[in-house]
Structure formats: structure tokens, C-alpha cells
């Protein structure tokens, strides 16, 4: 597998990484395309096949694991798999794009390990675990049990932050968006308005 750059955004659920990734995808000079993950969970609300995730059964997912079709994968909860198909990254690289990921911490670190030079791995840190709980409850997409599972997982994930190339503290969203834009622009080798103004 050879191609453009890989930009990873990882964080505990509710940290704001998805908002940051969506913002970056709207910046044409970065030449980014979103890597759609595969999952064995069912779709939520307005989620669309091939846009938000590639939805598949746990048995189909396991077949892909057996065939070594994934760049990385993880069983997040029992029979609840997430992964990045090699074919997805190859498709985006073939289109001449830099690939951006909104991905689980463990998956992000696995990709970084496989492609150390091509990858920028960014960890998004929430203000606190309490704030994380408030954000997850506001979403109203999951039961209290699921939220508690995510909070327990978040504490473990926060400990991995030093293994990432960069850490963005998402205390103020506008500042976090600007910082993310600067980091990615620098990594892919383009100048931003902010940088030009600094000169």
C-alpha cells in the first residue's frame, strides 16, 4: 500500500473529534477524503451505508478478519467490531487524496505503527471525564449502561494520549478547530491564512 498522507483523529467518545474531522474535510486546500470504517453494529438514526459506516454482520466481519482485509480492527464490545478496510484506503489514495480517520484510540495507534512516516496521529482531549459524561447524555443516543461503559473506556483511552504525535485540548471548540487545521496543513505541506498572517 502506497499513496498520500494518513491523518488520524482519536479520542474518547464525546471529545469532539468528529466535529473537528468534519471541519477539516471542508477545507479544500488540505485535499482530504474521509475513511469510512466498517462495523458490525446496526445503524443509528440517520446513518447511511457507505457514508457513515460500512455496516455488516459480525460473521461477515469475522470473514474479512480471516482474509486479512483490514488495516486495523478491534472488537470494542462483545461482537461489536470496528475496522478499516485496506480497500477503502487504497480507493482514496488512488483518487489522489490524503486520508483522514475518525477512529478508536487502539485502531489509530495500529495504523501509526504500520505507516509511521505517512501518518499524523492526533489525540483530542476533553476538558474532563465529567464533561464527557454530560456530552454523551446530551446526545440521547444510548442507554445509561452504554454511557457508563464509554466513560470507563475513556479513562483507559486518556492514558494513551502521550503515544500520539499531537494532543489537542478541546476546551474551546474554535481554538481546537484552528489548532487541528494548522497541524494538518503543516503535515500535508500547505500554507494556511493564519500562517501567512504570521509571516
Cβ neighbours around 194 below 10 Å, total = 11
- Asked if the model's pLDDT at residue 193 lies above 70, the reply is no
8 Å CB contact between 80 and 86: no
State the Cα–Cα distance between residues 100 and 90, nearest whole angstrom.
13
Neighbours of 173 (CB within 10 A): 12
pLDDT of residue 155: 84
CA distance to 32, 43, 138, per residue, from 141 (Å): 28, 11, 8
As assigned by CATH, the class of the 6-189 domain is alpha beta
Q: Where along the chain do its domains lie?
A: 6-189
For the segment 176-192, the average pLDDT, to the nearest whole number, is 93
Arithmetic mean of pLDDT, 55-84:
94
Are 98 and 6 in contact by the 8 Å Cβ rule? The answer is yes
Q: How confident is the model at residue 198 (pLDDT cuts 50, 70, 90)?
A: low
Task: Tell me: pLDDT of 50 over 60.
Answer: yes
In sequence order, the 6+-apart residues with CB closer than 8 A to the CB of 137 are: 147
Q: Say whether pLDDT at 199 is over 60.
A: no
**Helix H or strand E segment including 138:** helix 129-139
Query: Given its phi and psi angles, is residue 167 left (phi above 0), alpha (psi -120 to 50 degrees) or beta?
Result: beta
Which residues, in sequence order, are bridge partners of residue 124? 168
pLDDT range class, residue 194, cuts 50, 70, 90: low
Which is more confidently placed, 23 or 46?
A: 23
Amino acid at each position: 500500500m502506497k499513496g498520500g498522507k494518513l491523518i488520524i483523529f482519536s479520542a474518547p467518545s464525546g471529545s469532539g473529534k468528529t466535529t473537528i474531522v468534519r471541519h477539516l474535510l471542508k477545507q479544500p486546500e488540505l485535499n482530504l477524503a474521509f475513511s469510512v470504517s466498517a462495523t458490525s453494529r446496526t445503524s443509528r438514526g440517520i446513518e447511511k451505508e457507505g457514508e457513515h459506516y460500512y455496516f455488516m454482520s459480525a460473521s461477515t466481519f469475522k470473514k474479512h478478519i480471516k482474509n486479512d482485509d483490514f488495516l486495523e480492527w478491534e472488537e470494542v464490545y462483545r461482537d461489536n467490531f470496528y475496522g478499516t478496510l485496506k480497500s477503502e484506503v487504497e480507493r482514496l489514495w488512488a483518487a489522489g487524496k490524503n486520508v483522514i480517520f475518525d477512529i478508536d484510540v487502539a485502531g489509530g495507534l495500529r495504523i501509526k505503527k504500520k505507516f509511521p512516516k505517512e501518518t499524523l496521529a492526533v489525540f483530542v482531549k476533553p476538558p474532563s471525564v465529567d464533561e464527557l459524561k454530560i456530552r454523551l447524555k446530551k446526545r440521547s443516543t444510548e442507554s445509561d449502561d452504554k454511557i457508563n461503559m464509554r466513560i470507563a473506556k475513556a479513562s483507559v483511552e486518556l492514558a494513551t494520549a502521550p503515544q500520539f504525535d499531537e494532543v489537542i485540548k478541546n476546551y474551546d471548540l474554535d481554538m481546537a478547530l484552528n489548532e487541528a487545521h494548522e497541524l494538518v496543513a503543516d503535515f500535508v505541506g500547505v500554507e494556511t491564512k493564519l500562517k501567512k498572517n504570521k509571516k
